[in-house]
């Protein structure tokens, strides 16, 4: 069975399909506004015209290339190519400003590949067990996981905790526009029909980060550090990380892999927030948290490791249960079904060769990703040599096209510019932007699972506190809040004494 799978995947045609899918996925990941979800959706018809193994291998290549391609602009221009690469900006771009953009790219690519290999190697063995565990999660457990994730807003708040909490609350409030979960009651639409569906994540992400960053870069014309980015040179040895640094980063790597797999296997949360959670965990566990945001490799390794690991996590429930782990996995699920393959426990029995072909295709896609990205580093670095007025104009065009193309709505483009103005104002007030994204993503998940849980218990909140997993997670969340508050107060008292 395994030999047949190897034979099917390692044919010249299948290898070419995987490499082509990864290359196209990277392009979608690099261009702001174009996502891995869009890449897979657009290529579903092409997949249908291929044999099942090659068709699904194409979708997996697009998936892996699209997620990992987002690190390129995040590091070079401080513009997240995809929602899953937001946290990569925090230390990747400062490294570029130090003249270490090539090194940051090399490290990000290397750890994306390494975590992909580790995650999928583990998932081949642990997939059935992890899938069964995730199946026991009810709204009570999802609510507790979301509350725990929200506690990391404090970590992403920078020096001013109050501003961070206000930013998180602002993000949650943006998620309240449109139809409410469960009953679809319209709220805060103000008679504007386009608001019935609420704001799209892409409009907020591109507005707050991409357009806002472009406006600020345009305003920094006479700032030497920014204006001279086009002459940045670099020397890259290997992947930019020494053996000593690799050993020092092992705890960060392993923690991020576990976060990626553990949260990725839970349907509904997805990689959009995993990179922020992993970054927050790395900062909390670091011996030098004050250096995060100034250009440390820990801040690149954590999000990029968890992103790749999350792909493996999301494919577990997709293959084993027929429940997509994230939006891109949902597209892969559609690809399986148009080929007449019904994901679930029986697929491992009735289509064993195909299942093993999927695992092998994923490994080949990871090899394609590291190969294409590594040999393309010099090409990506040449982006910095393009005159800024040309480069930023092209990026704005892609932002508009990508935002419009998501739902074919001019309203999304208008919302993008509105959020760009909001982001610019908040930046001038030194308000952190990451908590807004985290609040916007997690707010609806929190509300949905709270309402579902209360409906299951006829309004009784006690199961949220008494069921084992929620009780543990909420206790950990409370302990984390207390610990963070004490650390902040202690730091203020020390600074006051000094």
Interval 330-386: pLDDT, tens: 778 778 877 878 776 667 777 778 888 888 898 999 999 999 988 887 777 777 677
Torsion of CA 293, 248, 371, 391, to 10 degrees: 10
In whole angstroms, give the CA distance from residue 286 to residue 335.
41
pLDDT in tens, 285-315: 888 888 998 889 999 999 999 988 888 888 8
Provide the token pair at 86. Answer: 């937001």
- For 28-73, the pLDDT digits (tens) are 888 776 778 778 877 877 888 888 889 989 999 999 998 888 888 8
Band (pLDDT 50/70/90 cuts) for residue 135 is low
Hey, CA dihedral for 179, 184, 187, 190, is it positive or negative?
positive
Average pLDDT over residues 116-130: 74
Q: What is the pLDDT of residues 222-238, one digit of tens each?
A: 444 444 444 444 556 67
Residue with the larger pLDDT of the pair 131 and 159: 159
Task: Please tell me the predicted confidence (pLDDT) of residue 108.
Answer: 92
**Ramachandran class of 267: left when φ > 0, alpha when ψ lies in -120 to 50, beta otherwise:** beta
Are the beta carbons of 327 and 202 closer than 8 angstroms?
A: no
CA–CA separation, 318 vs 340, rounded Å?
A: 15
pLDDT band at 398 (very low <50, low <70, confident <90, very high): confident
| b/e per residue 304-317 (b: at least 16 CB within 10 A) | bbbbbbbbbbbbbb
Token pair listed for 398: 């892609």
Q: Quick check: 309 and 180 in contact, CB under 8 A? A: no
Look up tokens 């207390």; give the residue: 482
Model confidence at 253, in pLDDT bands (50, 70, 90)? very high
Contact indicator for 295, 95 with CB cutoff of 8 Å: yes
Say yes or no to pLDDT of 147 above 90. Answer: no
- Do 336 and 56 form a contact (C-beta atoms < 8 A)? yes
d(CA 483, CA 480): 5
Which backbone phi and psi does 39 adopt, to 5 degrees? -60, -45
Task: Identify which of 280, 251, 239 has the alpha carbon closest to the alpha carbon of residue 108.
Answer: 239
More confident residue, 304 or 437: 304
Residue for token pair 């493996």: 312
Query: Of residues 90 and 39, which shows the higher confidence score?
Result: 90
Between CA 190 and CA 178 the distance in angstroms is 10
CA angle 328, 332, 338 (to 5 degrees): 140
> pLDDT band at residue 114, thresholds of 50, 70 and 90?
very high
Q: How far apart are CA 353 and CA 338, in angstroms?
A: 18
With cut-offs at 50, 70 and 90, classify the pLDDT of residue 81. confident
Q: Concatenate the DSSP letters of all residues of 112-177 into one string.
A: HHHHHHHHHHHHHHHHHHHHHHHHT--HHHHHHHHHHHHGGGTGGGTT-HHHHHHHHHHHHHHTTS
* pLDDT band with cut points at 50, 70 and 90 for residue 498: very low
Average pLDDT of the chain is 82
Domain count within the chain: 1
Domain containing 224 equals 2-497
Average of pLDDT values for 127-141?
70
Q: For residue 320, give the H/E element and its range.
A: helix 298-320
pTM given for the model: 0.75
Q: What is the pLDDT of residue 194?
A: 86
**Per-residue pLDDT at 9:** 85
Q: And the tokens for 60?
A: 């997996």
Q: Are 207 and 422 in contact (CB under 8 A)?
A: yes
């Amino acid at each position: 069975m395994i030999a047949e799978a190897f034979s099917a995947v390692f044919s010249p045609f299948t290898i070419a399909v995987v490499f082509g899918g990864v290359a196209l996925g990277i392009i979608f990941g690099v261009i702001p506004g174009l996502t891995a979800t869009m890449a897979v959706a657009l290529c579903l018809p092409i997949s249908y015209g291929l044999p099942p193994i090659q068709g699904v291998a194409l979708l997996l290549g697009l998936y892996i290339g699209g997620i990992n391609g987002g690190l390129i602009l995040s590091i070079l221009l401080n513009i997240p190519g995809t929602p899953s690469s937001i946290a990569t900006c925090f230390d990747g771009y400062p490294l570029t400003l130090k003249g270490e953009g090539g090194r940051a790219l090399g490290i990000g690519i290397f750890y994306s590949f390494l975590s992909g290999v580790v995650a999928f190697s583990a998932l081949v063995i642990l997939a059935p067990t992890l899938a069964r565990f995730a199946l026991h999660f009810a709204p009570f457990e999802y609510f507790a996981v979301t509350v725990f994730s929200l506690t990391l807003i404090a970590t992403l708040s920078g020096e001013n905790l109050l501003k961070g909490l206000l930013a998180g609350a602002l993000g949650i409030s943006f998620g309240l526009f449109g139809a409410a979960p469960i009953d679809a009651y319209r709220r805060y639409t103000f008679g504007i029909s386009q608001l019935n569906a609420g704001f799209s994540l892409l409009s907020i992400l591109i507005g707050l980060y991409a357009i806002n960053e472009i406006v600020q870069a345009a305003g920094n014309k006479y700032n030497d550090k920014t204006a001279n980015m086009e002459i940045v040179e670099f020397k890259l040895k290997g992947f930019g990380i020494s053996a000593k640094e690799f050993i020092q980063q092992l705890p960060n790597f392993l923690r991020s892999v576990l976060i990626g797999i553990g949260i990725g296997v839970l349907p509904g949360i997805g990689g959009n927030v995993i990179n922020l959670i992993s970054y927050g965990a790395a900062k909390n566990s670091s011996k030098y948290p004050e250096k995060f945001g100034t250009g440390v490799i820990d801040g690149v390794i954590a999000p990029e490791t968890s992103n790749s690991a999350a792909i493996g996590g999301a494919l577990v429930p997709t293959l084993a249960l027929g429940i997509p782990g994230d939006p891109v996995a949902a597209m892969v699920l559609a690809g399986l079904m148009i080929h007449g393959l019904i994901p679930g426990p029986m697929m491992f029995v009735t289509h064993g060769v195909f299942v093993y072909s999927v695992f092998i295709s994923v490994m080949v896609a990871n090899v394609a990703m590291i190969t294409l990205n590594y040999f393309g580093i010099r090409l990506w670095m040449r982006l910095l040599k393009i005159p800024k007025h040309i480069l930023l104009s092209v990026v704005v065009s892609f932002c508009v096209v990508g935002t419009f193309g998501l739902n074919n709505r001019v309203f999304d483009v208008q919302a993008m510019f509105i959020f760009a103005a909001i982001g610019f104002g908040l930046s001038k007030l030194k308000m952190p932007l990451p908590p807004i994204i985290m609040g916007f993503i997690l707010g609806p998940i929190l509300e949905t699972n709270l309402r579902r849980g209360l409906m299951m218990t006829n309004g009784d909140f006690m199961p949220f506190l008494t069921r084992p997993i929620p009780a543990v997670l909420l206790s950990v969340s409370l302990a984390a809040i207390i610990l963070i508050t004490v650390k902040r107060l202690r730091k203020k008292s020390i600074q006051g004494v000094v």
